Each structure stands twice: as C-alpha cells, then as structure tokens.
Amino acid sequence: MEAIGVLMTFPMSSYLEQELDKRFNLFRMWNFPQKTDFLKENSGSIRAVVGNANVGADCELIDSLPHLEIVSSFSVGLDKVDLGRCKEKGIRVTNTPDVLTEDVADLAIGLILATLRGICECDRYVRSGLWKKGDFKLTTKFSGKKVGIIGLGRIGTAIAKRAEAFNCPISYYSRSEKPDSKYKYFPSVVELASDCDILIVACPLTEATRHIINREVINALGPKGYLINIGRGPHVDEPELVSALVEGRLAGAGLDVFEHEPHVPEELFRLDNVVLLPHVGSGTVETRNAMADLVVGNLEAHFSKKPLLTPVV
Amino acid sequence: MEAIGVLMTYPMSSYLEHELDRRFNLFRLWNFPHKTDFFNDHAASIQAVVASTQAGSGADRELIDSLPALEIVTSFSVGLDNVDLAYCKEKGVRVTNTPDVLTDDVADLAIGLILATLRRICESDRFVRSGFWKNGEFRLTTKLSGKKVGILGLGRIGTAIAKRAESFNCSISYHSRSEKPDSKYKYFPTVIQLASNCEILVVACALTEATRHIINREVIDALGPKGFVVNIGRGAHIDEPELVSALVEGRLAGAGLDVFEGEPRVPEELFGLDNVVMVPHVGSSTVETENAMADLVVGNLEAHFLKKPLLTPVV
C-alpha cells in the first residue's frame, strides 16, 4: 500500500504520523504553506485524507482531490467534514467513536470538580504562598447537585453514569426522548437549563446545535449555574458566555473548547471561576493511540476492500 | 445557656462563630496572644472547647489541663488526631466529631485530585492562560478510566471514594486494619502489597500512631514510577521528604495532595513540578458542608448542656 497517497491535514499525533508513514505515501499538509501548488502537484496520487477537529475535509479540499476515496477523521465529531459532499461523491467517511468516550466523560467530571471546588485556583493559591496568610475561601459542593446533559449519546451517557456515582440527579435534552433512559427528559434546552445546577454540552455540532447555548439558556441556568463544554466551541455563543461570566450572571464555567481555538477570549483570563483547557478531551496517550489504530485500521480495511471498522458515510 | 463559656480555638467558620456567639459565652482563643493571662482570667467559666485541625488548634493535654471546668470537646472535623482522646477519657471529658456530613465532599475532592493530577487539568489551564496554546498543542496525559485504584482505609470516606471510582470502571482494592467481610473489593493485608498492585494509591484512613508515615519510601518504591499518590487524609500519613524526593527524581508519576506535614507550609521543591496538584486542606470546605458541620457542633453542645444524648459522640 506504499504507493497509496494519504494526506494528513494537521500534526494531530506523532504516533499516527509514524504508522501512516510506514504503510502509505504520507503527505503532511501543514508542511506546504502554498496549498494550491501542493495540491496541483500531488492531488493525482492522494486517495485518502486523515483529518481532525482542527482541520478536516471541507468542500474545497474534497473538490481538489479527484482521486479521494475515503476521509478518516481522527475524532468522533464530524463537524469539520463536509458529509453531504462526501456522500454526493461516493467518498467513504470514518471517525473514532467509543475509544475516546471514557476520556471525554472523565474530563467532563474533572472540569465540573475543578470548577465547583476551585481546584486550579487552590493550586495557584498554594503555589503563590498565600496559604501562609490565611485559609482558602469556601467553594461549592458537587455531590447531589442537579446535572443536565445536552445530548445523551455515548459520551453523554458515560458522563451521566459517572455523575450518578456522585448522587447527582440527571436530566437531559436531545433531539428526541430516549424511551429506555431512566433519566428525566426535557423537551427544550431552556427548560433543562432552568431545572439543573450544572449544564453539560455533549452533543454533536450541527447547524441545529450551533449556539445552542445562547443568552436565553444562560439566563435560565442563572447566577448559581455552571456550564461545562466538552463538545465544540460553536455550541456556545461565546461573547454572551463571556459577558455572563464577567458580570456574574453565571457562577462559573469549565471549558475544553472555544469558538476560534486556539484563541481564547482574554477577558476569561482574569476570572477565577472558570477552568480553561486546550481541547484535551481525548488527549491521553492511551486514547490517542487507540484513535490512531482505528484510523489506520479503517484505511487498511478500505484499501484491502474489507468492511470499514467505523463507517459514518 | 448564655453563661456557659465555650472556647473556640481557631476562626474555622464564621457561620459557626456566629451560631456559638448567639447561644453561649464565646471566647475566641486567637484573640488572646497572652494565653497564660487568658486562662487565669477565664478558665473557670469554660465548659466546652470547639477544636479544629490547624496546628495548635486541637485539644491537647496542655489545653485540657488549663481548663478545670471542661466537660466536652467538639471537634470541627471527623479526624481526631488533633484531640488527646485518651486523656479526655481519663478525665471524663466527652468528645464529638463531624462524621458523615463531610464524607461526600472529601470523596469528591479525592476524585477531583485524581483527575486534576492524571489529566493535568491545572497545568493545562495555566497553559491556556499563559498564551502557549497559540504556539502548539498541550502534551498528552494519562487516562483515569479503567486504572487500578488502591484505597488505604475503607471507612465512610474510603467507601465513598470507591463508589465514585467504580463509575470510572476502575478496579478497586484496599488495605485496612482488618478485612471487611461484606466488601466486594479486593483486600491486601499490607500497604506494600496494595501499592504494588495499584496505579493510584489514595490515603483515606484515620491518623493514629500506627498510620503515621504509612506512606514511606518502601511503599513509594512499590507504587513505582508510573504510580500516583493522592492524600486526602493527614499530612503526617506521608513521609514528606521521601515523597518530595520521589517526585523530584521521577520515581513517582505524580501526586494530588490536600494535606501536608507542616500545613500551611508546603515543600517549595514541589512548586517547580507540573505533575503535582496541591490544594490547601479544602476537603470539606464547601459552603454546604461547613454549615452542616457547624450545625453538628452546635447540636452536640446543646445536647450536652441539656443533658440529652450527644449526636455524634466518640468519647
């Protein structure tokens, strides 16, 4: 398969890069600042694209690769892949579900605890020598708080399971009610936000869910409410969130994603009641290796004319 | 009861201070720099001590002996290493603590420390705030789900930690003074065996003479360079210089610490490390729990002075 051209869009994983390089003719898109020239010279041999949450496969890229057969995304979210265009052109698409579910759910709980219990703020407090001057302030208990989850898919369900161990009552919103679920369903995000103490975004990013967290939802969540985002930055109307936090209309937020990563609104840097992470939901050695194996496995299956491991299109 | 003298050893809670002040003749020990004069003037009217965990704020032999009218010590904590229990027993002084109401908070913090340490949450927050994300991605960290968690002490708090860790698909093992026949978790008869068989070792037992420095060099070696220590017990559970050198030398993967041997002093060598999360003894420091602990202290004092059964007696 060494003649097969595979285009990697972003340096998402050195392990993956290595494994692709061993098996295919690997092109690293980030090494070619002059994209038009690069594509002109090499598009003839590129049959696969490996993208991720930073740089996927949009219409423009797809159209510039006439021999493209498969897009293998190093992510479970597919908001950066033009699925409609792929379908139209008969291009297969795979993602990396399941292998990252636990890590993302773990991080959601980690963000809740870090935000409510002020863990990062506490660590700063100790490191700056302030403890010698006085005790830290009181924070907010997590156990028993009402947790509302937007999106009860694999990740939402894993978050719910963990939150239940903290005796949290769980409620959710999703496109349709899940009949087998023991959790309380709310037919709108505003109702979910009104009812819960901690609102977690865990749904895919689509046109319907863009800015699903808007001013109305933030008001419904209220000044004692917390927002946790482990979905995508565009799920949240970011300027609205920032002003709510700065003005004290929300108690706090734990954010792993932002509208224009890696740019983070600097007003947030002054706040102690936010925890800001650089999109690390699946960022463990174990999980990134598993994701890489799945990407490679899907490509090998495709080019060996075997069934794809985790097809979406 | 306003004539009853109650001595608060430390400003542990303004809500508690307020509630005690309303009911009793409250003495705030921290306002009296000349302790001998204070005891000379007021000891005779003090019938109760409200103790806390800060250094010098417990009820030791010296304090007990300075208060001839002392009838009860109510500790604002569940741990009682700060109270001379044997001497209280000897002198017929009752002792109460604050169990149960703080169990969830401490267990929550243990999990929070595990996640913050393994997933480097505080370090990545610093990474974002310092603008480094624009220059490149954060490093990869370590997954929690499915790891082997070893708990030292399977009491109320240890059990609550185990319940939470189970939801992360962690396998749970423990060591305690004796095996718990009803427990579904795997028992190890020594701390070394527990440390050898787990990846994350959590200290959740009471501090006694037997458990002082229970985490020593041998245990740290058994836990190994991929192992993590989380301490939500007492600083003295760990041989701190040994822990510090293990972390500095990379013989442990990381540590999440809520307590330290010389609180509020923390070994400064730790400040240079990214794989350590340090919090200032905040295990039960939420508004909700502090209020519940305060209500329990007041409840115990009222019960005592009304000659009713104590709510949470230990002695």
How many angstroms separate the CA of residue B62 from the nearest CA in chain A?
Answer: 25
pLDDT of B165 > 90? The answer is: yes
Would residue A200 count as lying in a domain? yes
Pick from A75, A25, A15: which is nearest to A232 by CA?
A: A75
Residues A117 and A65 in one domain: no
End-to-end alpha carbon distance in chain A: 23
Residues A115 and A58 in one domain: no
Residues A79 and A120 in one domain: no
Number of Cβ within a 10 Å radius of residue A129: 13
Residues A146 and A196 in one domain: yes
Q: Which of B175, B234, B237, B304 is catalytic?
A: B234
CATH number of A82's domain: 3.40.50.720
Give the burial string for A61-76 (b: 16+ CB within 10 Å, else e). Answer: bbeebeebbbbbbbbb
How many angstroms separate the CA of residue A281 from the nearest CA in chain B?
Answer: 9
Would residue A153 count as lying in a domain? yes
Q: Are A21 and A296 in contact (CB under 8 A)?
A: no
Superfamily designation of domain B103-278: NAD(P)-binding Rossmann-like Domain (3.40.50.720)
Pick from A235, A193, A198: which is nearest to A217 by CA?
A: A193
Q: Please state which CATH class domain B5-101+287-305 belongs to.
A: alpha beta
Active site residue B281: yes
Residues of B in contact with A159 (CB under 8 A): none
Largest CA distance in chain A: 68
How many angstroms separate the CA of residue B64 from the nearest CA in chain A?
Answer: 26
Q: ω into residue A278 within 30 of 0, thus cis? A: no
DSSP state for residue B133 in the 8-state scheme: G
Residues A89 and A134 in one domain: no
Instruction: Enter the tokens of residue A102.
Output: 């636990």
Q: Do A111 and B163 touch (CB under 8 A)?
A: no
Residues A182 and A299 in one domain: no
CA B210 from centre of chain:
17
Q: Do B128 and A278 touch (CB under 8 A)?
A: yes
What H or E segment, with its residue span, contains residue B289? helix B287-305
Residues A128 and A268 in one domain: yes
Would residue A312 count as lying in a domain? no
Q: Would you tell me which residues 125-144 of chain B have a C-beta closer than 8 angstroms to some C-beta of chain A?
A: 125-129, 133-134, 137-138, 140-144
Instruction: Enter the tokens of residue B282.
Output: 């905040």
Would residue A308 count as lying in a domain? no
Would residue A313 count as lying in a domain? no
What is the residue type of A21?
D
Residues A257 and A299 in one domain: no
Q: ω into residue A234 within 30 of 0, thus cis? A: no
Residue spans per domain, chain B: 5-101+287-305, 103-278
Active site residue B166: no
Would residue A140 count as lying in a domain? yes
Q: Would you tell me which residues 77-96 of chain B have a C-beta closer than 8 angstroms to some C-beta of chain A?
A: none
Q: Are B200 and B228 in contact (CB under 8 A)?
A: yes
Q: Which of B71, B166, B263, B302 is catalytic?
A: B263
Residues A120 and A256 in one domain: yes
Would residue A204 count as lying in a domain? yes
The band of B147, judged by pLDDT with boundaries at 50, 70 and 90, is very high
How many A×B Cβ pairs under 8 Å? 164
Rounded Cα distance between A13 and A50, Å, is 11
Rounded Cα distance between B111 and B22, Å, is 37
Region B281-287: mean pLDDT is 98
Residues in CB range of B246: below 8 A, 6 or more apart: B217, B220, B252
Residues A192 and A165 in one domain: yes
Domain that holds residue A163: 101-276
Split into its structural domains, chain A has a count of: 2
The band of B2, judged by pLDDT with boundaries at 50, 70 and 90, is confident
Region B36-54: mean pLDDT is 96
DSSP state for residue A51 in the 8-state scheme: E
Residues A44 and A63 in one domain: yes
Consecutive 10-residue averages of pLDDT for chain A (313 residues): 93 97 96 91 96 96 97 97 97 97 98 98 97 97 98 98 98 95 97 98 97 98 98 98 98 98 97 98 98 98 98 95
What is chain A's length?
Answer: 313
SS (H, E, C) B137-191: CCCCECCCCCCEEEEECCCHHHHHHHHHHHCCCCEEEEECCCCCCCCCCEECCCH
Q: Specify the residue for token string 């836990």.
A: B223
The answer to whether ipTM exceeds 0.90 is yes
Q: Are B86 and B241 in contact (CB under 8 A)?
A: no
What H or E segment, with its residue span, contains residue A126? helix A119-127
What's residue B201's pLDDT?
A: 98
Q: Do A106 and B279 touch (CB under 8 A)?
A: no
Top residue of A15, A55, A75, A123 to mutate, by most chain B CBs within 10 Å, is A123
Residues A36 and A129 in one domain: no
Would residue A311 count as lying in a domain? no
What's residue A1's pLDDT?
A: 80
Q: What is the dihedral of CA B181, B184, B189, B190, to 10 degrees?
A: -140
A60: buried, middle or exposed (CB in 10 Å: 19+, 13-18, 0-12)? Answer: exposed
